[in-house]
């Protein structure tokens, strides 16, 4: 349908629309008009993506001078693929209505591994190896060598692209990964570099978070993107963690060993080079004198990782004298590694600030801050000079150099923690964490650079937390509920078992046999009355393991198997994938399956259990993050001091967003339905309940907040019977589904206005 | 003498049959035995009649051979060669070997129908009950039994070969029982053994290897239950003593190879979900800690494997029996693993003759995931074939009313409801939706009221009955209903349909037969049951069979009425 949103003509590729989609578009438009940032929460499975795309594309067409580009960031590869397909649908709809393709190019950028079409390189299963092999075929010096000597292999696809590809633009249209590969294969062009090149001019770019948030990658990939752009972070409930991870470094003994090896290789290479062709080293030295900037001229294939620090912190100066010489620099690095080795030898936990680390460094091994800051860039330059074919072998060393640069650059918002032992075990496994505590550091340049940044997800409650921890001022901050013609979600809080023992995963009672048995009973009862798929989430993997063990002894597993097939997430993700695919088979064949999984695990973050794949989801306990972790403690302290966020508030917020994320996986669209069971007494407390997303809270009536196992099962049975009745469009129309006429009626418009909950 | 026309393949003297010595002849067509010094054949079995032969175990003093016939009778021949046990055994084995060769040839000749019938009975316990109740107790004869429509449905349907899958909990169902003196007893049925074999091919292989050469059946299963393979909470012992240690490894390998050969659906391919930062070493790659919880870990792995194998076992039988069904469902998972994969999803155009199945499939999956059925206006049943009815009202109301309408059109106006539904069908453009009699909500409400605890079920009658009646009585009653119902249905079927005047000649005869059968049933089956109930379950006795009796009475009354009319007509 073609609808007008606040005066803007929007093409929406469906014949009907959910009221909240319209409301969402309204709010989104306001944010775009104001050229500000927005924070929007809309229930999962109500067509967020298509609303976003339709509105922004329409906006771009009508205001080409205000918004030139849409950068759509999503978390997982399947999500990205889905976005592209939706976009394709939309463009097809434009084509159908207007008779011609709109002048819009949309494409995806993904890793080399996903885009490579080189027959040998693409066969590698691991991304790291693909990157390395690609580099060894495309680096500028390799290609130079090839011109002298034909026997040195290069990549024909890159050569093809380099010769012809840069002159032409991609024809208008939408390119998924497969389309890009096909397009590349037809022309003998490298799809990866084609995409890297094309995103600069394309109107719509879809890629993963890292390409914008991680300075190491963003500098290489997204540096030249237009500033008059709308950036969308979809599924952004975890965005703070992504920011933090992108600026954090973890050093283990393995890293040290590997980097020592790499260092020796480099030393040897330098010595050899000195004998054979000293001129290259001198040339490099000269370059250092002139500054690093010039050294890196437009050689997009050479550089895989840029500086780990944000571009505004990169010193635009001449490299300090004591690391200009290659040998000196290697010596410098060696001292740094030795220092780290010494720090890892400690027997007790050490926590200090980066400043403390710097001071210690200068006192013990005489390493000054300034040269440390240049470490990453200097190593990059050296690797280039030495014409290293496979940079993958120097990964560990690169990491160490990154640590040096980060530690020397940032003094605030970071913490250094050395732990000689594992969290839970007494095994000696020393780790040095250089951890970022402030998610706003990585986020700030994005907010500053682009005119509108939209952060959206199905679960962002409580909304006011995000502006605080990401440190920005949204012009729009809204949460949307779900209009429903029938109660298609059934959230329940089960607080006690059939024996009236309170169930809770809190630390004191989680190993209690009665609690575990009650959890087991609940699951057995539910799996006997719910059809098809049942998904359960545990608070941690450790807990899952011990509960499964106990259930086996108690016979719970046997009675579960009587009803459905049992699948369990493991720490091996390949194994889990296989279990998952079989779980799906079990659901589809009608046998039904139970999947035990972990909140914060890979399954909870990326897999949807829509329709029959998840008719019920159980959350066993509140998924608090492991609170004894020192990194977390440091972060909590920092948040308290810096942003006035109380520890408990943050912990609860974090736990509840994960819980909501887990249970939200069952619902997709209004024809779907699912039971959501929160099995922990503590969920019924106001501070927890109020932090659930609005659309779940609305259905969580008081009468559903303190149930025993039997009561919950009775309610489920009744509800399932209701849901099994035929559900037609007529039931939905006018309430949760609108035609164009209905949408345009004044009454509806008012209703929609009212629905938006603004904060 | 009949023997003269046939070839005698073997004759063995000194064979005793029912205390008389004689000679056993193995002939072309049959097995015969003649008393000594007589010239008439005392025993003669056609090979086609023989079901199996049995021989006495090696250690027994008597050397015997028994043939079991299809009708259940058997004849035993005792070999009494005076030369001693060895000679006797040799005689016997000769006969045995010969029979072994001969019998299968005749097996095929025996009535395929009979075989099928017996298989049917063994496959379907309800049919067997029915057979026992009706045929063996001589309520009706076998032929009538097989001609009832219920049975015809079974015998004529060709797709009855639907194998049951494997229960997910079959291992758990083997409940160990303590035998009182420090031992455990496991009850193993053929079903469970089948399930184990189906699910765990490795165990089957072991079984083939070891039984009966190296150990007996019982020993094998004892070992099985002792092994960690069965007890999943035990850590696998690495010692080679454990018979099934190898099995676990074989399973691991099977799963691993299956993992490698399955192209993962993109929505579940976890390792590919996130794009790692290039070049940097990945965290904790390769380091797998071994610690105390690895019991649980291996257990979890076993659970997953178990479920996967159960699924595979039932899947296998599915696809083999109905291939057309299986292939459509599984396409998105089992893909050719190579071919496309090698070039990362793309082939050069010239060689793209074979359609790149993976991307298409992938795309279909994505579309499936992002499609909102309720936002699209197109009806989901677009590509389905539309049902075209020439006479809508016939579909709505069944053929009976139609017939009566046509035959009695002069005096009887068609029922109003029929008219209404016809009008409705017209108004909705012949789309022929079934008229909504009650709304969904009302239906749910009614269901609720009718379930125990609802307004209409206040007295808890059903619940009480269910609790008061012991299990065995319940199953007996169930059987009575089953067989009684069958007879009743047959009887009712014999009555002519209203308006359908063209009766075939045999319906009265048929009706009479079933009427009598019903009375017989009442006397032979129902009465004894009632008497037994009177003795055992006094308060309930009459109420239990009241309904059954009522049904029979109604049928009998109807029959009497019909008979009267028939008489009048004549």
**DSSP letter assigned to residue B15:** E
Contact state of B333 with A585 under an 8 Å Cβ cutoff: yes
Show residues of chain A in contact with B279, CB under 8 Å.
128, 131-132, 304-305, 391-392, 394-395, 398
**Residue in chain B lying closest to A399 (CA):** B280
Packed helices A630-643 and A647-664: angle between N→C axes, nearest 10 degrees: 110
Show residues of chain B in contact with A721, CB under 8 Å.
444, 447-448
Give CA–CA dist A188/A159, Å, rounded.
9
Nearest CA-CA distance, residue A290 and chain B, Å: 28
CB neighbours of residue B286 within 10 Å: 6
- A636-693 pLDDT, tens per residue? 999 999 989 999 999 999 999 999 999 988 888 888 899 999 999 999 999 899 999 8
pLDDT in the model for residue A715: 92
Contact state of A591 with B168 under an 8 Å Cβ cutoff: yes
Give CA–CA dist A704/A686, Å, rounded.
14
Give CA–CA dist A259/A255, Å, rounded.
6
pLDDT in the model for residue B394: 63
3-state secondary structure of A386: coil
A45 is written with which tokens? 């499975």
Packed helices A354-365 and A326-344: angle between N→C axes, nearest 10 degrees: 110
A387 backbone φψ class: left, alpha, beta (φ>0; ψ -120 to 50): left
Secondary structure (DSSP) of B266-318: TTT-GGGTS-PPSSSPPTT-S-----TTHHHHHHHHHHHHHHHHHHHHHHHHH
**Residue in chain B lying closest to A582 (CA):** B308
Instruction: Check residues B457 and A127 and name the one with the higher pLDDT.
Output: A127
A305 vs B173, B278, B373: nearest CB: B278
**DSSP letter assigned to residue A636:** H
- SS3 string, B160-220, reads HCCCCCCCCCHHHHCCEEECCCCCEEECCCHHHHHHHHHHCHHHHHHHHHHCCCCCCHHHH
Nearest CA-CA distance, residue A545 and chain B, Å: 6
Measured in whole angstroms, the distance separating CA A204 from the mean position of its chain's CA atoms is 19
Contact state of A305 with B373 under an 8 Å Cβ cutoff: no
Contact state of B443 with A549 under an 8 Å Cβ cutoff: no
pLDDT in the model for residue A544: 92
Show residues of chain B in contact with A546, CB under 8 Å.
293, 296
Mean pLDDT across A701-706? 91
pLDDT in the model for residue B186: 74
CB neighbours of residue A411 within 10 Å: 14
The CA angle B138-B141-B144, to the nearest 5 degrees, is 140
3-state secondary structure of B137: coil
Query: In chain A, what are the helix, strand and coil shares in percent, each to the nearest 5?
Result: 55, 15, 30
pLDDT in the model for residue B223: 81
Beta bridge partners of A106: A174, A204
| Location of structure tokens 């003498």 | B1
A39 pLDDT band (50/70/90 cuts)? very high
Q: In what order do the strands lie in the sheet with A674-679?
A: A565-568, A593-598, A533-538, A616-620, A674-679, A489-496, A707-708
**Burial class of B162 by CB neighbour count within 10 A (0 to 12, 13 to 18, 19+):** exposed
**Residue in chain A lying closest to B444 (CA):** A722
- Closest CA relative to residue B271, chosen from A246, A319, A76, A340: A76
Give CA–CA dist B310/B165, Å, rounded.
8
Please say whether the beta carbons of A47 and A78 come within 8 A.
no
Is the alpha carbon torsion for A687, A689, A691, A697 positive or negative? negative
- CB contacts under 8 A, A 148-207 vs B, are 177-178, 181-182, 184-186
**DSSP letter assigned to residue A75:** S
Confirm or reject contact between A258 and chain B (CB < 8 A). yes
A255 vs B281, B363, B375: nearest CB: B281
Buried b (16+ CB within 10 A) or exposed e, A6-23: eebebbbbbebbbbbbbb
Give CA–CA dist A251/A344, Å, rounded.
9
Please say whether the beta carbons of A411 and A372 come within 8 A.
no
A567 vs B232, B307, B444: nearest CB: B307
B280 vs A112, A398, A610: nearest CB: A398
Best mutation target among B294, B374, B434, B446 (most A Cβ atoms within 10 Å) is B374
B112 is written with which tokens? 């395929």
- Closest CA relative to residue B64, chosen from B91, B97, B40: B91
Best mutation target among A125, A566, A601, A614 (most B Cβ atoms within 10 Å) is A566
Does the interface ipTM go beyond 0.85? yes
Contact state of A575 with B301 under an 8 Å Cβ cutoff: yes
Instruction: Indicate the pTM of the whole model.
Output: 0.75
Please say whether the beta carbons of A667 and A610 come within 8 A.
yes
Among A142-146, A281-285, A397-401, name the most confident range.
A397-401
Best mutation target among A565, A571, A732 (most B Cβ atoms within 10 Å) is A565
CB neighbours of residue B368 within 10 Å: 11
Secondary structure (DSSP) of B304-371: HHHHHHHHHHHHHHHHHH-HHHHHHHSTTTS--SSTTGGGTT---GGGTTS--HHHHHHHHHHHHHH-
- CB contacts under 8 A, B 329-368 vs A, are 329-330, 333, 342-349, 359, 362-363, 366-367
CB neighbours of residue B315 within 10 Å: 19
Contact state of B315 with A304 under an 8 Å Cβ cutoff: no
3-state secondary structure of A566: strand
**Burial class of A618 by CB neighbour count within 10 A (0 to 12, 13 to 18, 19+):** buried
Give CA–CA dist A275/A285, Å, rounded.
16
CB contacts < 8 A, A to B, total: 266
Which distant-in-sequence residues (6+ apart) come within 8 Å of B546 by Cβ? none
pLDDT in the model for residue B464: 58
Low pLDDT (below 50) residues in chain B: 1-4, 157-160, 284-292, 318-356, 379-382, 401-411, 429-433, 462-463
pLDDT in the model for residue B431: 47
Pairing of strands B20-27, B30-35: antiparallel
- Closest CA relative to residue B267, chosen from A677, A668, A678, A531: A668
Confirm or reject contact between A629 and chain B (CB < 8 A). no
Nearest CA-CA distance, residue A641 and chain B, Å: 30
- CB contacts under 8 A, B 269-328 vs A, are 269-283, 287, 289, 291, 293, 295-297, 299-301, 303-304, 306-308, 310-311, 314-315, 318
Which distant-in-sequence residues (6+ apart) come within 8 Å of A748 by Cβ? A19, A738, A742
- Closest CA relative to residue A653, chosen from A401, A464, A445: A464
pLDDT in the model for residue B341: 35
Please say whether the beta carbons of A101 and A173 come within 8 A.
yes
Contact state of A561 with B172 under an 8 Å Cβ cutoff: yes
Instruction: Check residues A190 and A287 and name the one with the higher pLDDT.
Output: A190
Q: Rg (Cα) of chain A, in Å, rounded?
A: 28
Nearest CA-CA distance, residue A182 and chain B, Å: 6
Which distant-in-sequence residues (6+ apart) come within 8 Å of B418 by Cβ? B393, B396, B397, B401, B405
A713 pLDDT band (50/70/90 cuts)? very high
pLDDT in the model for residue A521: 93
**Residue in chain A lying closest to B378 (CA):** A15
Q: What is the residue-averaged pLDDT of chain B?
A: 71
Show residues of chain B in contact with A578, CB under 8 Å.
255, 258-259, 262, 264, 304, 308
Contact state of B233 with A545 under an 8 Å Cβ cutoff: no
Confirm or reject contact between A356 and chain B (CB < 8 A). no
End-to-end CA distance of chain A: 31
């Amino acid at each position: 349908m073609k609808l007008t949103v606040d005066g803007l003509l929007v093409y929406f590729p469906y014949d009907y629309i959910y009221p909240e989609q319209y409301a969402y578009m309204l709010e989104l438009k306001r944010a775009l008009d104001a050229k500000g940032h927005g924070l929007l929460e809309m229930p999962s499975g109500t067509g967020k993506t298509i609303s976003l795309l339709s509105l922004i594309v329409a906006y771009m067409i009508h205001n080409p001078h205000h918004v030139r580009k849409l950068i759509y960031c999503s978390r997982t590869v399947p999500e990205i693929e889905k976005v592209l397909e939706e976009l394709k649908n939309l463009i097809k709809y434009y084509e159908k209505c207007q008779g011609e393709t709109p002048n819009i190019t949309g494409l995806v950028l993904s890793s080399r591994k996903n885009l490579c079409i080189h027959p040998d390189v693409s066969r590698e299963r691991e991304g790291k190896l693909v990157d390395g092999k690609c580099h060894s075929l495309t680096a500028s010096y390799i290609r130079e060598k090839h011109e002298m000597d034909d026997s040195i292999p290069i990549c024909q696809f890159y050569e093809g692209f380099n010769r012809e590809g840069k002159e032409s633009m991609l024809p208008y249209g939408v390119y998924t990964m497969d389309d890009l590969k096909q397009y590349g294969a037809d022309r003998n062009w490298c799809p990866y570099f084609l995409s890297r090149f094309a995103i600069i001019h394309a109107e719509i770019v879809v890629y993963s978070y890292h390409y914008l948030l991680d300075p190491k990658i963003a500098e290489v990939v997204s540096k030249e993107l237009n500033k008059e752009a709308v950036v969308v972070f979809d599924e952004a409930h975890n965005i703070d963690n992504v920011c933090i991870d992108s600026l954090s470094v973890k050093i283990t003994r393995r890293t040290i060993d590997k980097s020592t090896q790499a260092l020796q290789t480099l030393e040897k290479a330098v010595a050899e080079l000195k004998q054979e062709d000293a001129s290259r080293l001198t040339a490099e030295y000269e370059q250092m004198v002139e500054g690093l900037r010039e050294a890196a001229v437009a050689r997009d294939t050479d550089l895989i990782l840029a500086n780990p620090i944000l571009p505004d912190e990169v010193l635009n100066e001449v490299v300090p004298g004591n690391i200009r010489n290659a040998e000196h620099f290697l010596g410098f690095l060696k001292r740094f590694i030795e220092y780290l080795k010494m720090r890892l030898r400690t027997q007790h936990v050490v926590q200090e600030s980066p400043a403390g680390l710097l001071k210690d460094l200068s006192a013990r091994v005489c390493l000054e801050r300034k040269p440390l800051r240049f470490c990453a860039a200097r190593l990059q330059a050296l690797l280039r000079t030495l014409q290293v074919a496979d940079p993958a072998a120097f990964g560990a060393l690169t990491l160490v150099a990154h640590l040096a640069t980060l530690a020397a650059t940032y003094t605030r918002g970071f913490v250094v923690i050395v732990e000689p032992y594992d969290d839970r075990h007494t095994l000696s496994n020393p780790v040095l964490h250089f951890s970022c505590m402030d998610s706003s550091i990585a986020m700030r340049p994005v907010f500053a650079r682009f005119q509108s940044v939209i952060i959206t997800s199905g679960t962002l409650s409580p909304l006011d937390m995000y502006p605080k921890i990401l440190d920005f001022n949204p012009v729009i901050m809204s949460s949307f509920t779900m209009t429903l013609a029938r109660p298609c979600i059934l959230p329940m809080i089960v607080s006690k078992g059939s024996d009236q023992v309170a169930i809770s995963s809190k630390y004191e009672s989680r190993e209690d046999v009665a609690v575990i048995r009650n959890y087991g009973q609940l699951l057995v009862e539910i799996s006997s009355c719910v059809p098809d798929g049942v998904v359960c989430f545990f608070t941690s993997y450790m807990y899952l393991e011990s509960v499964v063990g106990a259930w086996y002894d108690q016979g719970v597993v046997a009675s579960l198997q009587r009803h459905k097939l049992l699948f369990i997430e493991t720490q091996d993700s390949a194994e889990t994938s296989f279990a998952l695919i079989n779980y799906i088979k079990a659901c589809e064949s009608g046998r039904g399956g139970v999947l035990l999984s972990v909140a914060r695990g890979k399954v909870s973050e990326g897999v949807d259990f829509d329709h029959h794949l998840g008719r019920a989801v159980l959350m066993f306990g509140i998924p608090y993050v492991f609170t004894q972790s020192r990194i977390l403690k440091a972060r909590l302290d920092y948040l308290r001091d810096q942003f006035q966020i109380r520890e408990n508030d943050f912990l609860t917020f974090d736990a509840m967003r994960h819980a909501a994320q887990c249970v939200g996986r069952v619902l997709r669209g209004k024809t779907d339905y699912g039971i959501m069971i929160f099995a922990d007494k503590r969920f019924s407390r106001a501070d927890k309940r109020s932090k659930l997303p609005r659309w779940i809270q609305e259905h969580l009536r008081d009468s559903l907040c303190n149930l025993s196992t039997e009561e919950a099962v009775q309610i489920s049975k009744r509800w399932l019977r209701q849901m099994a009745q035929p559900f037609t469009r007529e039931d939905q129309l006018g309430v949760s589904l609108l035609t164009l006429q209905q949408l345009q009626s004044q009454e509806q418009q008012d209703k929609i206005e009212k629905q938006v909950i603004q904060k | 003498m009949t023997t003269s026309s046939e070839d005698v393949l073997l004759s063995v003297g000194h064979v005793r049959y029912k205390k008389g010595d004689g000679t056993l002849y193995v002939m072309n067509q049959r097995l015969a035995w003649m008393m000594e010094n007589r010239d008439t054949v005392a025993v003669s079995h056609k090979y086609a009649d023989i079901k199996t032969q049995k021989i006495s175990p090696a250690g027994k003093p008597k050397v015997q051979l028994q043939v079991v016939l299809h009708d259940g009778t058997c004849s035993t021949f005792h070999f009494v060669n005076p030369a001693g046990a060895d000679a006797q055994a040799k005689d016997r084995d000769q006969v045995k070997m010969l029979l072994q060769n001969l019998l299968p040839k005749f097996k095929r000749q025996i009535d395929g129908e009979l075989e099928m019938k017996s298989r049917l009975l063994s496959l379907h316990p309800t049919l067997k009950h029915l057979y026992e109740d009706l045929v063996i107790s001589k309520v009706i004869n076998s032929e009538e039994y097989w001609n009832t429509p219920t049975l015809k449905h079974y015998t004529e349907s060709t797709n009855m070969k639907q194998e049951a899958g494997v229960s997910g909990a079959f291992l758990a169902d083997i409940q160990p029982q303590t035998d009182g003196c420090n031992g455990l007893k496991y009850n193993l049925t053929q079903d469970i053994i089948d399930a184990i074999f189906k699910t765990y091919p490795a165990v089957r292989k072991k079984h083939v290897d070891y039984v009966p050469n190296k150990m007996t059946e019982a020993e094998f299963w004892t070992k099985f239950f002792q092994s960690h393979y069965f007890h999943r909470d035990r850590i696998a012992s690495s010692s080679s003593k454990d018979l099934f240690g190898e099995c676990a490894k074989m399973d691991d390998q099977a799963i691993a190879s299956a993992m490698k050969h399955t192209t993962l659906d993109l929505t579940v391919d976890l390792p590919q979900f996130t794009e790692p930062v290039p070049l940097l070493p990945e965290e904790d790659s390769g380091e797998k800690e071994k610690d105390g919880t690895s019991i649980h870990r291996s257990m979890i792995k076993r659970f997953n494997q178990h479920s996967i194998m159960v699924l595979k076992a039932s899947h296998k039988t599915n696809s083999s029996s109905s291939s057309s069904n299986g292939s459509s469902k599984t396409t998105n998972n089992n893909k050719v693993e190579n071919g496309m994969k090698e070039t990362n999803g793309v082939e050069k155009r010239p060689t793209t003759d074979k359609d790149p199945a993976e991307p298409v499939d992938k795309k279909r999956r994505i579309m499936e995931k992002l499609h909102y059925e309720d936002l699209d206006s197109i009806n989901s049943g677009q590509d389905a074939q539309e049902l075209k009815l020439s006479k809508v009202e016939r579909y709505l109301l069944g053929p009976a009313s139609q017939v009566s309408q046509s035959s009695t059109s002069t005096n009887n106006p068609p029922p109003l409801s029929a008219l209404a539904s016809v009008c409705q069908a017209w108004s909705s453009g012949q789309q022929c939706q079934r008229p909504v009699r009650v709304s969904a909500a009302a239906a749910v409400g009614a269901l609720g009221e009718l379930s125990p605890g609802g307004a209409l079920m206040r007295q808890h009658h059903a619940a009480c009955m269910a609790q008061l009646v012991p299990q065995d009585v319940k199953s007996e009653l169930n059987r009575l209903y089953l067989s009684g119902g069958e007879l009743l249905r047959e009887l009712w079927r014999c009555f002519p349909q209203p308006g359908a005047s063209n009766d075939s000649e045999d319906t009265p005869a048929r009706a009479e037969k079933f009427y009598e059968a019903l009375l017989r049933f009442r006397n032979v089956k129902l009465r004894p049951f009632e008497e037994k109930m009177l003795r055992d379950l006094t308060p309930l006795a009459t109420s239990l069979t009241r309904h059954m009796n009522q049904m029979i009475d109604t049928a009998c009354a109807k029959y009497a009425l019909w008979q009267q009319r028939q008489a009048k007509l004549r």
